[in-house]
Copies of this chain bind each other. A is one copy, B any other.
């Protein structure tokens, strides 16, 4: 249960989305508003580490993670004030299990790819072994932490994420569900992912067994307009995707439907049904 944002478009300073807005990701780390559990409880604190990944002039993304809360973090403030990127993502973590360590923070990176995730799977400790056995042997040594998310990413890579992202994610979901439903036919899988290769931004919203995580996007240059004048306009031809809107949820934000795979490239947002199963 976490919060994230993702951006692609004209290069902007990361602080435009990560630290400055009134309901920025950093503010959400302390006080999110849409992060409900299935039983209706609001999880407002996302203090179990954070991470950012960004694409500037290098082929591989930059990655900065810490196992501290994002609020009051001087390194994060300074970095986001200095660094510009055409494509970036940022994540604040809340966990009810699992260790608080940098290798469990999102986004996860492999070569030029980034992956971040908000959601959960039930019974992960019971299906972890079976899922990790499905990771390609040459990718197995990439396992550095203990999260479900890292396992999902390596599964997706195993199934061809770098060639055919949507199909790879379908196979990943099918594989997770296969293991999950063996253990508990009422098991829950809930995924809200942002993925990038530095040229395209992909998102997935998929849920099995409970209400899906929220996910919104905007291509509206005034999507941050309630903020102070200097930051008011986003560049045209830019797209922001968030787990909850940065300002009050208004008509500049479009909710992405459940069971949707989204591809964003050159400010074109292509929306497809993810899964016909």
Q: Which residues of A contact B (CB under 8 A)?
A: 30, 44-45, 47-48, 54, 56-58, 60, 62-69, 71-75, 78-79, 81-84, 95, 99-103, 125-126, 128-129, 132-133, 137, 140-141, 143-146
Contacts and interface: CB of A to CB of B under 8 A. Distances in A.
Contacts of A132: 132
**A57, A75, A137: most-surrounded residue (chain B CB, <10 A):** A75
Contacts of A48: 69, 72
A79 B30 CA distance: 26
A70 to B, nearest CB: 11
Contacts of A144: 99, 146
Contacts of A128: 140-141
Given A75-B102, A128-B141, 11 more contacts: A45-B45, A48-B69, A48-B72, A58-B82, A63-B74, A72-B95, A74-B99, A82-B83, A99-B103, A129-B141, A144-B146
A63 B57 CA distance: 20
